[in-house]
Amino acid sequence: MQELSTRKLWSIGGGKGGVGKSVFTLGLGICLARLGKKVILVDADLGGANLHTLMGVRYPPLTLEDFLLKRVGRLEDLIIETQIAGIGLICGADDILGAANPTYAQKVRLLNQIEDLPADLVLLDLGAGTSFNVLDFFNYSPGKICVLTSQATSLQNVYGFIKSGLYRQISREFAKHPRVLDLLQQTDLKDSPEQVRSMHDVLLKLKQTEPESHQRLVDLLRQFKVNLVVNMVKSDRDFQAGAIVERVCTSFLSISPRILGRLSFDPAVEAAVNQMMPFPLRQEKGQAVKDLEQIAESVARASLPGSSLPPEEAAQTGEPRPVGTMARLWRRAPA
């Protein structure tokens, strides 16, 4: 499948449920619409859709079920106009057997038509977990955002999600290169035959034996750009969760996720969700709304043709450097 030339499509994932992916997706969409962007939200949580509930839509007239089962020919025909000017919604499928596991043909058809949706930006709200379908939606998107909180389980899950997405991408790109796949598999073994513990080690081995594959992998790592949003931040200590994930990814995956921003903790979020009211519409001047607006401005700038977020650190090319243990890296953040 061909990657989009600009960042029109953004996926919001994170691996763990309950970190606020759907609330963030909706809030980001509202702030982008206020910037004059035409936005379509797609609930890609196949099997557990709830984005429509957050928007006050109790009974969606059409969902992705209708598209997957070909009752509707065009994805565009699923768009529901919402109460918010500039935002359309495509509701997820959560009531058919196998909705959470579409066939390859269904997935290709869905992704191909996402590109043609009439919008400046399309935001995909992904489901929890690391199924291939979730990872493929994430990897297909030029814009990738992972939402996390400062909870230890969230940190572990978001790292696992990023790692799974990266390994999925490498496995697809190097499907006919058994040496690369073997080294990749060894990074998950406690007793690696070749003492391969990280992507850095994989690069070192390839640099010695398969320089062409080494360069291809370096290029892939450079292109695998992930953005982090730390949610429910009550203090600067909570915000350090993003720096922890960034350091662990750099040391073990040889990629450097960018911290896109934070969302301050705000009790009004839960109140708005309970009342089925989009959060940014309930409170205009809270810190969480200001945080969302800053993130939306960054996303809007990055989505313009020829524009991008600030440059990321280049992937490690296999030069010697120290690699700590995972436990040590988790402990680097303030307690």
Q: pLDDT tens digit string along 221-256?
A: 999 999 999 999 999 999 999 999 999 999 999 999
CATH topology assigned to domain 9-173+226-330: Rossmann fold (3.40.50)
Q: What pLDDT is stored for residue 317 in this prediction?
A: 47
Q: What tokens were used for 102?
A: 């579409």
Q: How far is CA 249 from the centre of its chain?
A: 15
Q: What pLDDT is stored for residue 210 in this prediction?
A: 96
Q: What pLDDT is stored for residue 260 in this prediction?
A: 97
The domain limits of the chain are 9-173+226-330
Predicted TM-score of the model (pTM): 0.87
Q: What pLDDT is stored for residue 99 in this prediction?
A: 53
Task: Give the list of residues 6+ apart from residue 243 with CB closer than 8 angstroms, or none.
Answer: 259, 333
> Which amino acid belongs to residue 249?
C
Q: What tokens were used for 110?
A: 């869905």
3-state helix, strand, coil in the chain (%, to 5): 45, 15, 40
* Spans in the chain with pLDDT lower than 70: 1-6, 46-49, 93-101, 272-284, 306-335
Q: What pLDDT is stored for residue 328 in this prediction?
A: 45
Q: What pLDDT is stored for residue 276 in this prediction?
A: 61
